[in-house]
Chains A and B, each alone.
Chain A
Amino acid sequence: MNTRFGFFPFEAMNYKAAQAWLDRKAGQGWGLKHVCMGCIAWFQRMDQPRHFVDLDIRSGFDGDTDADYLQLCSDAGWELIQQLRGMLLFRSAPGRTPSPIQTDDELEWERFWKKYRPRIWSTLLTIIAISSLVFVLSLPSTRNLTAILAVNSGLLWLLCLTLFVVYVLTQSIHSRWYLARCRRSNRVESPGPVSTFVDSLCRLHTPMLCLILIFGAADTVAGKTVDLDWYPMNGEYTATVDACRGWPVLMASDLGLPDSGDSRFLEGHRTVLMDFLEYREITDRKEPDAPPYILTTERYDCLNETLAKLVIAQRQTETRNGAFLWGELDWEPAPELGFDESYTCRNNGYLLLRQGKVVALVGCTDFDLTSAQGLEAVRARVLNHPS
């Protein structure tokens, strides 16, 4: 095999790490041919190749490197392979063994420091910005983790956000530390393996963006298990009711309430962590001026009990803080109901239950769901449904 590929994640600030990596490859007889798609290094077998990675600080407004500089490098025996992210990648011309492009540590350090000195201050600003973001995301009013866990693209988004925060923090701290180390020695030092890890994280952003788009599209096609929007009383009514009956949701008819079928909504997602169902129904009472019954079911069939425990704890906090369509829910423990975990609120009109790995939030306004009839309906229709 005369060709080999490698991962080239390096950023301009860590150009010495790129140099060390290319030196190792050259030692094995591999000469860099090109870096494709910004991070795939394409090597070919060559006779005693040499590489040099230089900071590209000579680019004009048009992005082109100064022609005199390139001419001088070419005369000295260096062939420019390509310009990449503020770096210039050189390879020795065939049959020549040129001396390094930079031979004065002090001059090299001067231009490096001039270029990256602002990072000293931007590190502090970055940490402040991330701390503010984390603070805002942790506010009760903005926290709705279960809504993210219940959608694949949401999970991926969460993963991306986490990776991004890890990247920015690590990069900021590492570049601050690296600059300080270089400053102490008054030369551009080798940045070490952490820099390669940080640069690799940065290179992940394009595939991650593609994955989000793919997952987003897949979610709308394959991720949804059911999607029946609000249906008013019309010709589709019967079909809608029948469709809903096949799913583990609490319907008015299950509680013996009038089934006027004013409107109902059913939505479901299948994610890597859980099967999620959400059902809402508004049905009129027999009394003409009385407010209607509002029924709600949220059902999380989780991957395991640990996740179910996390979901019930999280949903309890979220609904208490207002992340619920029909207002805040102030839960009270109700162990006497006989489930693994159980909470009630609003005069037992709402139940938050966990049985094994299934979590359910069920509710019906002005109906005591802890009554024998209510609990039986919840058990049979929601928690122990054969689906």
Chain B
Amino acid sequence: MARKKLETLSEQMYYVLLSLHTGPMHGYRIMQHVNSLTQGRVIIGAGTLYALLARFEEEGYICLSGTEEGRKSYDLTPAGRQALEHEFDRLHQQVSDGARFLRKGDMK
């Protein structure tokens, strides 16, 4: 089922917000940034990114910060930063929980 509200973030959502955490960017730069950040593991299509940016803007996670080379640039809002940190904590907790069972040796 579709998410009603962005309570959790998908991997692509997470990396879009993470990219904007470094500073304002336009769409194509976000795509490139995510690609290099994840070493090509996460690829965001132009249509998907466009939809994500519209959704984040609607949720108040990002805002327009100006134009760069004729392209709209976006910046993270405090709400967006909080959502990113919340997701990071959630993922971190998941990894910790998993490690306790799956990587018992590593925990010692």
Whether, in the assembled complex, A47 has its beta carbon less than 8 Å from a beta carbon of chain B, the answer is no
Name the distance in Å between B52's Cβ and chain A's nearest Cβ.
7
Of A71, A75, A104, the residue contacting B48 (CB under 8 A) is: A104
1/0 contact string of B17-39 vs chain A (CB within 8 Å)? 00000000001100100000000
Write out the residue numbers on chain A whose beta carbons fall within 8 Å of the beta carbon of B27. Answer: 68, 71-72, 75
Q: How far is the CA of A69 from the CA of B52 in the complex (A)?
A: 12
B1 pairs with A73, CB closer than 8 A: no
Within the complex, which residue of B12, B28, B45, B51 is in contact with A100, where a contact is CB–CB below 8 Å?
B45
Q: B52 near A107 (CB under 8 angstroms)?
A: yes
Fill in one digit per residue for B61-78: 1 if any A CB lies within 8 Å of its CB, else 0.
000000000111000000
Contact A76/B31 with A99-B43, A106-B2 known, Cβ cut-off 8 Å: yes
Residue among A69, A78, A98, A186 making CB contact with B1, cutoff 8 Å: A186
B47 contacts A54, C-beta separation under 8 Å = yes
Q: How far is the CA of A99 from the CA of B3 in the complex (A)?
A: 25
A127 at the interface (CB under 8 A from B): no
How many Å lie between the Cα of A78 and that of B43 in the bound state? 15
Chain A residues with Cβ below 8 Å from B43 are 99, 103
Distance in Å: Cβ of B86 to nearest Cβ of chain A: 20
* Docked complex Cα distance between A103 and B31 (Å): 12
Does any Cβ of B come within 8 Å of A109's Cβ? yes
* Assembled-state Cα–Cα distance A113/B46 (Å): 20
| Least CB distance, B54 to chain A, in whole angstroms | 9
Cβ distance A178 to chain B, nearest Cβ, rounded Å: 18
Q: Encode contact with B along A105-121: 1 for CB under 8 Å, 0 otherwise.
A: 01111110100000000
User: Is B50 part of the binding interface, using a Cβ–Cβ cutoff of 8 Å?
Assistant: yes
Contact call B31/A107, Cβ cutoff below 8 A? no
What is the CB-to-nearest-CB distance from B33 to chain A, in angstroms, rounded to a whole number?
A: 13
Tell me whether A109 and B48 are in contact (CB under 8 A): no
Q: Does B44 contact A (CB under 8 A)?
A: yes
For residue B94, CB closer than 8 A to chain A, the reply is no
**Is A106 in contact with B51, judged by CB distance below 8 angstroms?**
no
Contact partners of B10 in chain A: CB under 8 A: 104, 106
With contacts A104-B12, A106-B2, A109-B2 taken as known, whether A73 is within 8 angstroms of B72 at the C-beta atoms is no
Report which of B3, B12, B50, B70 forms a contact with A69, defined as CB distance below 8 A. B50
Question: Is there a chain A Cβ closer than 8 Å to B83's Cβ?
Answer: no
Q: In the docked arrangement, what's the CA distance between A355 and B48, Å?
A: 72
Complex Cα distance, B46 from A100, in Å, reads 8
CB of A306 closer than 8 Å to a CB of B: no
B45 near A76: Cβ-Cβ < 8 Å: yes
Complex Cα spacing A102 to B46, Å: 7
B48 contacts which chain A residues (CB < 8 A)? 101-104, 107-108
B28 touches A72 (CB 8 A): yes
Q: How far is the CA of A139 from the CA of B10 in the complex (A)?
A: 59
- A71–B71 contact, CB under 8 A? yes
Chain B: CB-nearest residue to A77: B46
Nearest residue in A to B72 (C-beta to C-beta)? A68
Q: Is the CB of B46 within 8 A of A110?
A: no
Q: Which residues from chain B contact A76 at a C-beta distance below 8 Å? A: 28, 31, 45-46
Q: In angstroms, how far is the closest chain A Cβ from the Cβ of B2?
A: 5
- A48 CA to B26 CA in the complex, in Å? 29
Asked whether A75 lies within 8 Å of B46 as measured between CB atoms, the reply is: yes
Give chain B residues whose Cβ lies under 8 Å from the Cβ of A58.
50
- Give Cα A75–Cα B12 distance, bound, in whole angstroms: 19
| Contact yes or no, B72 A103, CB < 8 A | no
A71-B71, A104-B12 known; A111 vs B51 contact (CB < 8 Å): yes
Pair A73/B47 contact, Cβ less than 8 Å = yes
B14 CB to nearest chain A CB (Å): 12
| Proximity bits, A53-78, B CB within 8 Å = 1, else 0 | 01000100000001011011101101
Q: Separation in Å of the A54 CB from the closest CB of chain B? A: 6
List 9 contacting pairs A-B, 8 Å CB cutoff, sorted by A: A68-B50, A68-B71, A71-B27, A72-B27, A75-B46, A101-B46, A101-B47, A103-B48, A109-B2
* Extra 13 A-B pairs, beta carbons < 8 Å, given A104-B12, A113-B2: A54-B47, A66-B50, A69-B47, A72-B27, A72-B46, A73-B46, A76-B28, A101-B46, A103-B12, A103-B45, A103-B48, A104-B10, A106-B3
The 6 closest A-B pairs by CB, nearest first: A75-B28, A103-B45, A101-B47, A76-B46, A72-B46, A73-B46
Q: Which residues of A are interface residues toward B (Cβ below 8 A)?
A: 54, 58, 66, 68-69, 71-73, 75-76, 78, 98-104, 106-111, 113, 186
